[in-house]
A and B are shown apart, each in its own frame.
Chain A
Amino acid sequence: MLSSTADHLYWLARSMERAENTARMLDVTYRMSLLKQTVVEPHHEWRAMLSISGLHEDFEARYDEPSADNVMQFMALDVDNPGSIYNSILNARENARAVRGSISVEMWETINATWLEMRKIHADGIPEDGVSPFFEWVKERSHLSRGVAHGTLLRDDTFRFLRLGSFLERADNTARILDVKYHILLPSVSDIGGAADYYHWSALLRSVSALAAYRKVYRDLITPTRVAELLILRPDMPRSLMACMNEVNRLIQEINGPSSGELLRRCGRLHGELRFGSIDDIFGRGLHEYLSEFLERIYDLGDLINTTYFWSTDELPAGLPPPVQSFNMPVAGQLMAR
């Protein structure tokens, strides 16, 4: 497959998944902000969410205070925030348009319709009581676009690069969502195990569609250890880091290629560490530290995917002279990098 085609497919899926996860992250923050805090500076949760997304500097440059309204505007509709839901959907659509010939008609129409609706929502604005329905809509459209890919595409590298984008992005986002809790709770450590803590964890589980799964798996009280175990190590939990890395690892092996050695090695190692990891070890190191390192390694895998599959001009057949000049790197990737 042409590198540029694979690049577009991968970012198409990543962008759509990112839109969904940004909605999920906003949703959990929104729910947590409704809970009474013992120790609070104003807008604490929203500030935490911005810093987890790595977007707080951009935000502070253009907005005064991280109020619910401001952050919502910034993360959902802001055309100047590359990570906004608006731009994620636009990105998905532009990437889809560039590879229209490689995806199914149904898939193109689903993504294009999503973009057209997003443009309308952007023009009309989101009413105060429309926040939750908006998140639901974003999630629905993301489910739909994954579903239509699943139901209409040949199982070739087109499909694999789409899946690779989805799962790598999801791994990144689940880790971030789990880390929200750390940032929000930091000032009120004394409350761990208290009632507020319970509500925080259940809000978090709900935001990744995992509350019912939690009950089914543990049939017990919600504890931080179990929540972390569910979202990090359980292979049967579809948004867990383990489940995502199972997919990523398998896809990379299937796609393979002459220069994928290093990618396979690093991906396999991360996968293996999860596979044989224990929640006690993770908490022993510190959850936040563990998640931060995981995010770095996911970022690193993304870089390697770029150099292995999308740029590949430095990986030439043996015996060829070095490049005469540098080549244009794909812009889609740069635009989306956090």
Chain B
Amino acid sequence: MKKPAYDEMFDATQGVRPSYGSFAAWLDSTPAEVIARKREEADLAFHRVGITFAVYGEEAGKERLIPFDIIPRIIPAAEWQRMEAGLRQRVKALNAFLDDIYHDQEILKAGRIPAAQVLGNSQYRAEMAGVNVPGGTYAHIAGVDLVRAGEGEYYVLEDNLRTPSGVSYMLEDRKMMMRLFPDLFSRIAIAPVEHYPDLLLENLRSVAPENVANPNVVLLTPGQFNSAYFEHAFLAQQMGIELVEGNDLFVRNDTVFMRTTQGPQRVDVIYRRIDDDFLDPLAFRKDSVLGVPGLFNAYRAGRVTLANAIGTGIADDKAMYIHVPEMIRFYCGEEPILSNVPTWELAKADDLAYVLEHLAELVVKEVHGSGGYGMLVGPTSSNAEIEAFRAKILATPDNYIAQPTLSLSTCPTYVESGVAPRHIDLRPYVLSGKEISMVPGGLTRVALKEGSLVVNSSQGGGTKDTWVLEH
């Protein structure tokens, strides 16, 4: 019998942990009908507001509601302080790494990371070599996925440094909880998160090109058919900035303008939610209709800031993940505060041999994959699925890494049969500009299927409000 996972609310003897004390008492004293009614109210409200996301591969244009669970994930103050320190350290090192590999490449010269793994990686953008970005900041918005395993240690699962999404759910979940259970917020000291859009705007304005007095910030979206369009519209509205598509912008004299009814208006900072490849058909994919012709030249000339910068994909690549602790040592001169999950690189013969023998116990991921697509979770897969995946690995071993199946921590969650433990993860959002800032907590995702470890919304995951206790 496998040892049960670490539970956020209950300890091994089924006692309520101190962080959940007040909440558990409240839950016990609240009649089941009240909870049921509140849960219905939440569903209705989310439908009305239209907080949905499109699912790729399903019926075209179909929108789904992300399930929301009313039992919060609660993080004690001291735990968060340590986590925050670790996140600041990690994101600082990742930004330093990006600045370095697109300039002097000291870390490669020092032999701390094999140069071939960086320069030969398809995520390395040679076009960015020598390009200076304001403040040397590349990953202005980082979504670092953390999980808790074993006896409750936190591990970094991956660093999302391209266009991490989900922050709108963090904000909407909080709004919903405050609307449903206002009394809880007067009873328990919960750190606020609602000022995230203000922090984000301040952060974006802080990285405007030099000598721009009152920078004009816009949010560039691929459009209403993108799965995260709701979030784009939501954030633009919350920050009070224009939500633009590629054909709202144009470039003249290496300067980006937006087309307005009052004539062209200069754009200084673009919070872009479009992948690098689609940003500029003249510089990258020629068939892109989402981007802005000439944008890359304007960017290279330092006339506009892109957040995140082009080429950050190299630093959150799964092949680079294993080197992040070394980056922290190299750039910060410190030992990493947050641990990595032990990882096998299938490009190495020894690792490959080991992994092929232990497929049934491991999680195997595509190096460039995301969103929970293209991965194998050994313990929950059938023999046939494992064998099919083995063939894929053997065809291109370089394309994969493997990790032990972590027993992710669980949190009590409402499911059809009542309240049951379900696995969760955590994505805090780290903002880097003139300074590093973040709101306490982040987005907690929950795998609603019993035993499932995949929390991605596209794979049937839900979300919970995340409470960082103030003391």
Contacts and interface: CB of A to CB of B under 8 A. Distances in A.
Interface in A313-328: 313, 315-317, 320-321, 323-325, 327-328
Contacts of B289: 328
A20 to B, nearest CB: 26
B224 A3 contact: no
Contacts of B251: 324
A3 B259 contact: yes
A255 interface: yes
B252 A3 contact: no
A: contact size bracket: 20 to 34
Given A97-B224, A320-B252, A320-B253, A312 B263 contact: yes
A70 interface: no
B245 interface: yes
Contact of B293 (A257, A309, A310, A324): A324
Contacts of A328: 247, 289
A229 interface: no
A311 B264 CA distance: 10
Given A2-B244, A4-B245, A327-B247, A100 B233 contact: yes
B49 to A, nearest CB: 9
Interface string A214-256: 0000000000000000000000000000000000000000010
A127 interface: no
Given A4-B247, A321-B253, A324-B293, A255 B236 contact: no
Contacts of B263: 257-259, 312, 315, 317
Interface string B212-250: 000000000000100000000100110000111101101
B72 interface: no
Contacts, number: 68
B264 A2 contact: no
Q: Which of B233, B242, B245, B252 is packed against the most chain A CB atoms within 10 Å?
A: B252
A2 B242 CA distance: 8
A161 B260 CA distance: 13
A328 B294 CA distance: 15
Nearest to B234: A101
A184 interface: no
A6 B261 CA distance: 7
A255 B262 CA distance: 8
A1 interface: yes
A90 to B, nearest CB: 15
A315 B265 CA distance: 12
A157 interface: yes
A98 interface: yes
Contacts of B248: 2-4
Contacts of A97: 224
A325 B259 contact: no
A313 B243 contact: no
B253 A327 contact: no
A3 B293 contact: no
B316 to A, nearest CB: 30
B139 interface: no
B258 interface: yes
Nearest to A1: B261
A320 B242 CA distance: 24
Contacts of A2: 242, 244, 248, 258-261
B207 to A, nearest CB: 23
Interface string A1-25: 1111010000000000000000000
Nearest to B253: A320
A317 B264 contact: yes
B237 A316 contact: no
B264 to A, nearest CB: 6
Contacts of B244: 2
B264 A257 contact: no
Given A313-B250, A316-B252, A101 B236 contact: yes
A175 to B, nearest CB: 26
Interface string B399-426: 0000000000000000000000000000
Q: Which 3 A-B pairs have the closest CB atoms?
A: A3-B259, A309-B261, A258-B263
Interface of B: 224, 233, 236-237, 242-245, 247-248, 250-253, 257-264, 289, 293-294
13 contacts: A2-B248, A2-B259, A2-B260, A98-B224, A157-B261, A257-B261, A257-B262, A312-B264, A313-B250, A316-B257, A317-B264, A321-B253, A323-B252
